[in-house]
Amino acid sequence: MPACRKECGHYEAIWGGLRCWRLEACSALHAVLDLLSHPAMPVLLWTTAGVGLLTVTAIFVVGRLRGGSEDDQPAASSMLTNFRELHSRGGLSDQEFRTIKTLLADRIQRELKDSGDKG
């Protein structure tokens, strides 16, 4: 069983000897204090903090560079197909469907032009 150090102040005199009245807590506390007082501990703590800061910074920068990619959004042609199905089931009026088609027409033209330029 681990022995408590006299300097912890948790000793009491019993029958001519000394006994720590908080042995488990003292042992854990002294183990942590011993670990923190190790000469390599400041280097380890600063290295860990630096790596953590670099990781957070890298995640932030990559997120900003990627930004709102257009790949995250469905293609205009698939959106138009979905709206056409919704219109055929009665979920959209003729006027609403025409408005949506008009709004998506420019986007469809751009997508077709972009795919023609890449291909």
**Torsion-angle region of residue 68: left (phi > 0), alpha (psi -120 to 50) or beta?**
beta
Q: pLDDT (tens digit, 9 = 90+) per residue, 28-60?
A: 777 777 777 888 888 999 999 999 999 999 998
Q: pLDDT (tens digit, 9 = 90+) per residue, 63-103?
A: 888 765 555 567 888 888 999 999 999 988 999 999 999 88
Distances (CA, A) of 77 to 55, 87, 109: 39, 15, 10
Domain ranges (residues) in the chain: 1-36, 70-118
pLDDT of residue 41: 86
